[in-house]
Structure 1
Amino acid sequence: MGTFTILLGGDLVRTPRLDRQIEGSRVIAADAGIGHARMLGLMPELWVGDFDSVPPNLPEDLAAVPQKIFPAEKDMTDGELAIAEALARGATKLVLAGAFGGKRADHAFLHLALSVRLADAGTTVLLTSGAQEGVPVLPGKKADFDYADGTLFSVLGFSDLAGLTVSGAKWPLDRVEVAFGSSLTISNEVKGRLEIALERGRALLLAHPYPLPES
């Protein structure tokens, strides 16, 4: 089984779409992220971190999850440590649940940037809060998405972008160049089958998916 859900400490809401995305996955919790396990009906196989933000009144079964404890003064965040453990256990796909929001904007930024690096190395990555989700966009690989019409999305550039094509959108783009830090690709809407292609650069799709009909 190559799919791992990493429970992170950011905001998370349970939705039918999220349930489908994490179904059958193995689970590793990063410090406070274990607080999401009960809501999602998950039992982590491992709990890692420095344990400086353990949720209070944790149920006994979750408190008994095997732990890997690290010192508070370390070179990696708890989330990156959890991801490293998943990769060491054979992960080929990661669902980073709780990757946005929360009290630490620096951690949220790290999850965005780290997901792009992981995707560049060959790991499939989905970041999600239940209400919004992110998917890395890499050069030379056309990506298509199952979002319903009207879904709000943005393409966040982590560098200058060249040859960016966006189809199936209210405002399509055809092989445009986008300077790093430009707002050109912020706040678009899905109209049809969303497809994104990129010739050069690194980017991330950030979407607010509408509920989709149950199949």
Structure 2
Amino acid sequence: MSTFTLLLGGEVIHTPRLETQVAGTRVIAADSGIRHADVLKLLPELWVGDFDSAPDNLPLHLASVPKQRFPAEKDSTDGELAVSIALKHGATRLNLVGAFGGARADHAFLHLALAVRLAEQGIEVLLSSGAQEGIPLLPGKTAAFDYADGTLFSVLGFSNLDGLTITGAKWPLTAVEVPFGSSLTISNAVKGKLEMALGSGRALLLAHPYPLPES
């Protein structure tokens, strides 16, 4: 297995869990995502993008990372370009770090949908901000997760879902149909060993391994 961590432009916080997930991986930064490198104690082997949002005054060890520049007017985002480059370098597993939040909701949506498509192509994908993480669910497979009791999670559907089963949860489900756009699978909590199975459809688990800040 060849694992690449791609540093994207969304928000990232350092957590021990995230540090463990990215340790020992190959790293590519996408434009402003390079600002996460020092936070996670990573040194990218490549920095890609049009650099329209590249941070100023980077330390020398980051400013000197080899660059692959693309025109500002292009058909792919910097994040998708980073994914393509990682796959060309033999990636079979991807950590998309900084995939959520930030100023661009459209980019966040793209990363979620792209992760589902990549999973359908046989690429293992983890999306993470440190505080929350996403994992695509594949039809016909049972997925098990290591989250502690009380961990908040939701299942995001990108289509109608059929045969969704959730065990090890406060509100378990057994082979249910979930219409596209339903809130049925939003805001559940782990209770035991969380496992999920999906009959058909496109979906992604979104979990919060660390408690949400109180409002």
How many residues are treated as equivalent by the alignment? 211
Cα distance in 2 for residues equivalent to 1:180 and 1:48: 35
The C-alpha deviation readout for 1:186-214, integer Å capped at 9, x for no partner, is 00000000000000101000000138xxx
CA contact (8 A) 2:132 2:210 kept: no
Tell me the residue number matched to 1:133: 133
The alignment status of 1:37 with 2:71, answered yes or no, reads no
Deviations 1:47-87 (A, max 9, x none): 00000001111011111111100000000000000011100
**TM-score of the superposition, structure 2-length normalised?**
0.97
1:189 and 1:102 map into 2 onto residues whose CA distance is 25
| Segment of structure 1 superposing worse, 165-174 or 35-44 | 35-44
- Find the counterpart in structure 1 of residue 22 from structure 2: 22
In the alignment, what sits opposite 1:121?
121
Q: How does 1:30-179 map to 2 (within 5 A)?
A: 30-179=30-179
CA distance in 1, matches of 2:74, 2:141: 35
Measure how far apart 1:39 and its partner are: 1.1
| Aligned alpha-carbon RMSD (Å) | 0.8
SS in 1 for 2:167: strand
| 3-state SS of paired residue (1:117) | helix
* Structure 1 residue 128 displacement after superposition: 0.2
Structure 1: 4+ residue segments shifted above 6 A = none
Partners of 2:17 and 2:184 in 1: CA distance: 29
- Cα distance in 1 for partners of 2:15, 2:210 equals 11
SS at structure 2 position matched to 1:51: coil
Give the match's secondary structure for 2:102: coil
What is the percentage of aligned positions where both structures have the same residue? Answer: 73
Cα contact 1:31–1:47 (8 A) shared by 2 = yes
- Structure 1, unaligned runs of 5 or more: none
Give the C-alpha shift of residue 18 in structure 1: 0.2
TM value normalised by structure 1: 0.97
What amino acid sits opposite 1:44 in the alignment?
P
Alignment check: 8 A CA contact 1:6 1:96 kept: yes
C-alpha distance after superposition, 1:8-37 (max 9, x if no partner): 010000000001100100000000000100
Aligned residues of 1:47 and 1:66 also touching (Cα < 8 A): yes
State how far apart, in whole Å, the 1-side matches of 2:40 and 2:29 are: 12
Task: Indicate the SS of the match to 1:96.
Answer: strand
